[in-house]
Amino acid sequence: MLIALNILFLLSFLVFAYLNLNDIDWYLWVPIYLSAAICCGMAAFGKFYSLAYILLIAFYLIYAALLFFQKDGVRDWLVKYNKPSLVESMQATKPYIEKTREFFGLLIITGALLINYFAAQ
């Protein structure tokens, strides 16, 4: 079961990395998704590096917290802008939409790595 889940995560994160190639901040998001893809791919073959997981999870959670509290971040999307749809258009024309999408992407990656981290313990 965990092998299949990791293969699904691996393929998903590779697609997410590919889709971010045309983004303005591709240099940040492609490595973020590729790092998660590599960890999940290795986990599918039974290789776990706890320190790598801890460092990546810490980075993702710190970055998610920054996106949450930044001006026009997730908190503003929730409170100030009354949660407009994140999926109306794939073009994020408003900064709070882009930051909120990135925030949830980081949470998805963190969840995948946490599953592997605790499964390896």
Please state the rounded mean pLDDT for residues 24-29: 94
**Model's pTM, two decimal places?**
0.89
* Percentage of residues in the chain having pLDDT higher than 90: 69
For the chain, which residues make up each domain, given as ranges? 2-120
Q: Report which DSSP code applies to 22.
A: G
Return all residues near 17 (Cβ < 8 A) that are at least 6 apart: 29, 30, 33, 34, 37
- From the CB of residue 7, how many other CB atoms can be counted at a distance below 10 Å? 14
Q: In the prediction, which pLDDT does 51 show?
A: 95
- Which tops the pLDDT comparison, 41 or 89? 41
Alpha-carbon gap, residue 120 to 43, rounded angstroms: 9
> Confidence band (pLDDT; 50, 70, 90) for 52?
very high
Q: In the prediction, which pLDDT does 65 show?
A: 96
Q: In the prediction, which pLDDT does 76 show?
A: 81
Backbone phi, then psi, for 88, in 5-degree steps? -55, -50
